[in-house]
Chain A
Amino acid sequence: MKILKFVYVLMPISIILSFMWAPSAEILGNTSRIIYFHVPLAWGGVLAFIVSGIFSILYLSDKDKKYSMLHEKSYNSAQIGMVFTILATISGSLWSKLSWGSYWNWDPRQTSISVLLLIYVAYFSLWSALGDNSRKGRIASAYLIFAMITVPFFVFIIPRMYPSLHPDPIINTEQKLRLDFEMRITLMVAIASFTLLYFYLLNLLNRITVIDYYARDKQDEK
């Protein structure tokens, strides 16, 4: 997992590129630089949700117990995803205020991200309500898979059905990037660095979970 430490190099590069190398957009001015944080954070939130879902599916299908503590890892991923999603929402609403004049207007993409937040909140509520229940992992994993069904509807269908103030997705229906070269490179570096940050944090939390598990085990032995 040494590659994850590359985040220490890539994240400062991404910040420097965002503020010093990439040009500001024509109409939006310097406020357009939020894109280098808002888009990668939103991507991180969705990625964390997908990873949580994959861990949940593996946990439920792992009859031979080949993998350990997958449900805890799924929970860890969701925790990071929640933080990323909150930050994406805050950065998005700040940008919305600066360019559209209001912090929130139920644009389809704002609705999608708030639904993602609600799913995370529901998942954490269920997790804590299950307490020490022996089936906690199974039930929470089942819920996450169940909630995942609605996500494609909000992320892909609703934003295309209803008029949106958001620009076309960066990779749009024509499969073309409509950004200057410098902006495109900066955005790609930002997405890569936030993805790396996500995996770095996930690895850290997973290691803490394992240590915590063995520490409790030792305590129980005493």
Chain B
Amino acid sequence: MVEEIVRNLKKDFRVEFRNRSALNLAVAFAGITTLAISLATGGVPFPANIQSVVLWIIMFFCAMNGLAHIFVREEEERTSLFLSLNSSHESIFLSKLIFNVIFFLVLQMIVCPLYIFFLQLQIKSPAVFILTILSGGICISAGTTILGAMVSKAGGRGSLFTIISFPVLLPVLWVAIATTTRSLEDEGYSNYGNIIFFLAFSGVIIAISFLLFRYVWVEE
């Protein structure tokens, strides 16, 4: 199975880098949103809670913009059946999950520095901030992987992905916003309980997605 995962991952990265449309669009979307918010406020810094709300809203919509793409592309290019014939559904799910996690972490690496730069963020507890961004990102990409497969089977409608993802990701966004606010406000804040929550939530979501993926992807 590991060989299949590596093969699928190589294929996905190669296809993505040949036609960088998804990455380009996602990066452009992230950059434009951050710039638009900074421009609209005239560079006046917000209170910490508003800053973290806006940051996570940008990240949520970046995810909605790019994370379903990996499955939708398979359907649009009519390669999903070929993929199913060549790989087990377990390896397909795991390779797409790994791809989505890497893809979203790359997006976060672009969004966060831009956001910090344009909105003049003063981070009081950088360790908690970074860990929240990373673990929250893993949660979002883990949660949306199977939903992307569902959307691709429903014809890849863009707004549908946001509608079905929001209730599932709401606990993550809720806790992420609260933790990010604390990391911006409190110097030396070192409560890692919420980071553990993110990892536990990701674990549960991945396990359930792994079990359910067969019913979404395999035609019986």
A-side residues, CB < 8 A to B, are 60, 115, 118-119, 121-122, 125-126, 129-131, 133-135, 138-139, 141-143, 145-147, 149-150, 153-154, 158
B-side residues, CB < 8 A to A, are 146-147, 150, 153-155, 157, 160, 163-164, 166-168, 170-171, 174, 204-205, 208-209, 212, 215-216, 219
27 contacts between A and B (CB under 8 A): A115-B170, A118-B166, A118-B167, A125-B163, A125-B164, A126-B160, A126-B164, A129-B154, A129-B155, A130-B153, A133-B154, A138-B215, A139-B150, A139-B215, A139-B216, A141-B215, A142-B212, A142-B215, A143-B150, A145-B208, A146-B146, A146-B212, A149-B204, A149-B205, A153-B171, A154-B170, A154-B171
CA separation between A150 and B147, bound complex, in Å? 14
Q: How far is the CB of A193 from chain B (nearest CB, A)?
A: 30
- Once A139-B215, A142-B216, A146-B209 are accepted as A-B contacts, the answer to whether A126 and B167 lie under 8 Å apart by CB is no
CA separation between A211 and B150, bound complex, in Å? 29
The residue in chain B whose Cβ has the minimal distance to the Cβ of A134 is B219
Cβ contact within 8 Å between A135 and B153? yes
CA separation between A213 and B215, bound complex, in Å? 23
Max chain B CB contacts within 10 Å: which of A130, A139, A158? Answer: A139
CA separation between A148 and B153, bound complex, in Å? 21
CA separation between A130 and B152, bound complex, in Å? 10
Specify which chain A residues have a CB less than 8 angstroms from the CB of B160 in the assembled complex.
125-126, 129
CA separation between A133 and B205, bound complex, in Å? 25
CA separation between A158 and B197, bound complex, in Å? 13
> Majority SS of interface residues in chain B?
helix
Cβ contact within 8 Å between A145 and B167? no
Q: How far is the CB of B102 from chain A (nearest CB, A)?
A: 22
Specify which chain A residues have a CB less than 8 angstroms from the CB of B147 in the assembled complex.
143, 146
Cβ contact within 8 Å between A150 and B167? yes
Specify which chain B residues have a CB less than 8 angstroms from the CB of A119 in the assembled complex.
167
CA separation between A142 and B147, bound complex, in Å? 10
Cβ contact within 8 Å between B153 and A133? yes
Specify which chain A residues have a CB less than 8 angstroms from the CB of B174 in the assembled complex.
158
CA separation between A122 and B215, bound complex, in Å? 19
Max chain B CB contacts within 10 Å: which of A125, A133, A134, A150? Answer: A150
Specify which chain A residues have a CB less than 8 angstroms from the CB of B208 in the assembled complex.
145-146, 149
Specify which chain B residues have a CB less than 8 angstroms from the CB of A122 in the assembled complex.
163-164, 166-167
CA separation between A188 and B219, bound complex, in Å? 46
CA separation between A139 and B163, bound complex, in Å? 15
Specify which chain A residues have a CB less than 8 angstroms from the CB of B164 in the assembled complex.
122, 125-126, 143
Specify which chain A residues have a CB less than 8 angstroms from the CB of B157 in the assembled complex.
129
Q: How far is the CB of B64 from chain A (nearest CB, A)?
A: 13
Q: How far is the CB of B14 from chain A (nearest CB, A)?
A: 29
- Once A133-B154, A143-B164, A146-B168 are accepted as A-B contacts, the answer to whether A60 and B215 lie under 8 Å apart by CB is yes
